[in-house]
Amino acid sequence: MHHGQDIDVLVSEVAPRDGLQSIKATMPTPLKLRWISALADAGLREIEVGSFVPAKLLPQMADCAELVAHARQISGLFVTALVPNLRGAQAAFEAGVQKITLPISVSEPHSLANIRKTHAQVFEEVQAVVALRNERFPGVEIEAGLSTVFGCTLQGVVTDDQSLAMAVKMAELGVDEVGLADTVGYANPAQVRRVFTRLRNELGALAGSAHFHNTRGQGLANVVAALEAGVTTFDASQGGIGGCPYAPGASGNIVTEDLVYLLESMGLRTGVDIDRLVAAREWLRQGLPGEALYGFIPDAGVGKNFTYAKEAV
C-alpha cells in the first residue's frame, strides 16, 4: 500500500493495460508515454502501464518494457504491470516494475478458458513466481488479483467461501496482497461489503484493492460498499475504456474521473486534480481516434459547490 500520509484512498489507474488491451487498435508508443506522464501529472500515484504477454497475442502491449522504463523516471509514481505467468513475471521484474499483478480466477472453468490452466497448475505457477522474486528481485511486490469473485459467466454462482479459500491459498503461497475483481459486472453492494469484510478479517494487511466494472451500472455503488468494508485502493480506467463490456453502449471499467469526484466529494483525499485528469484524455483521443470515452464528470463538470477533500486536522 503506497498511500502516504497525505491521501486517504489510492486510485490505481489501469487504462494503459486493462483499457488498451481490449481495444483492437494499437495506441502509438510516443502518445502512450505522453498520456502516462499526463496521468501522473494529474496526481495519480499508481499506474498499471501494461501487461507482459507475447506480442503476437497482444500487439497492443508489445511496448510494455519501454513504458515501464519511462514511468519509473516519474517521481512519486508507483509502476505496476499485469503478468499471466512465470515468463511474464520474469520480463516484468527485469523491466523494473515495482509490483506485478497475477490474475487468478476463482472459477476453474474461467481459468481453463482464460489461461488454459487448472487451479493446481496455477498454484505451481504462483509458487514459481514468488520463488523467483524472493531469489532475484526482493522488494518487488506481488499481488494476486482474484477474478470472477462475484460471479462467472461460465460457472455461474461463485460462493464467498470459494473466493475466500482462494485468497487464503494465495497468502499461503507468499503473495504480498490479494485484490478482488468483479470481472463480469455481476457484483452488488451487499455482496461487496460482505466479501471484503471477510477478506479483511481473514487476511488483515494482505487484503488489497477492489476492481469493479460498471457493466450493469453498479460500479460506484460497489465502491461505496467497499469503502464501508475498509478498502482503501480502487482500480479505475480513464474514460472507462476496456473491461470487456458485454452490453453495447455500456462501459466496462469504472471511470477514473467519476471515481475521483465521488471520493473527493465524500471528503476522502485522492491527491488527484480532476481538471488535469480530464485534460489527460486528450492523449487518448489522439492515440485512439473514434474510441468511445465514458464518464459523467467530463461531460457534466463538477458541481458548483464541489470542494476537494481537506487535509485532516
Greatest alpha-carbon span in the chain: 54
Is it the case that residue 1 has pLDDT exceeding 60? no
Q: Take residue 126 and report the three cell numbers written for it.
A: 504462483
Q: Is residue 312, in this structure, part of any structural domain at all?
A: no
Cα–Cα dist 121/123, whole Å: 5
Q: Is residue 4, in this structure, part of any structural domain at all?
A: no
Q: Is residue 187, in this structure, part of any structural domain at all?
A: yes
Q: What percent of the chain has pLDDT over 90?
A: 92
Q: Take residue 60 and report the three cell numbers written for it.
A: 497492443
Residue owning grid cell 478498502: 231
Cα–Cα dist 248/227, whole Å: 29
Catalytic residue among 112, 168, 203, 244: 244
Q: Is residue 206, in this structure, part of any structural domain at all?
A: yes
**Cβ atoms within 10 A of the Cβ of 144, count?**
27
Confidence of residue 308 (pLDDT cuts 50, 70, 90): very high
* Domain span at 263: 10-300
Residue 244 annotated as catalytic: yes
Is it the case that residue 201 has pLDDT exceeding 90? yes
Q: What is the CATH number of the domain that holds 170?
A: 3.20.20.70
Q: Is residue 306, in this structure, part of any structural domain at all?
A: no
* Structural domains of the chain, count: 1
Tens digits of residue pLDDT in 43-58:
999 999 999 999 999 9
Q: To 5 degrees, how large is the angle CA 288–CA 293–CA 298?
A: 125
Q: Is residue 1, in this structure, part of any structural domain at all?
A: no
Is it the case that residue 292 has pLDDT exceeding 60? yes
pTM of this structure: 0.96
Q: Is residue 42, in this structure, part of any structural domain at all?
A: yes
pLDDT value for 245? 60
Confidence of residue 313 (pLDDT cuts 50, 70, 90): low
Tens digits of residue pLDDT in 261-287:
999 999 999 999 999 999 999 999 999
Is it the case that residue 152 has pLDDT exceeding 80? yes
Q: Is residue 2, in this structure, part of any structural domain at all?
A: no
Mean pLDDT of the chain: 95
Environment class of residue 39 by beta-carbon count within 10 Å: exposed (0-12), middle (13-18) or buried (19+)? buried
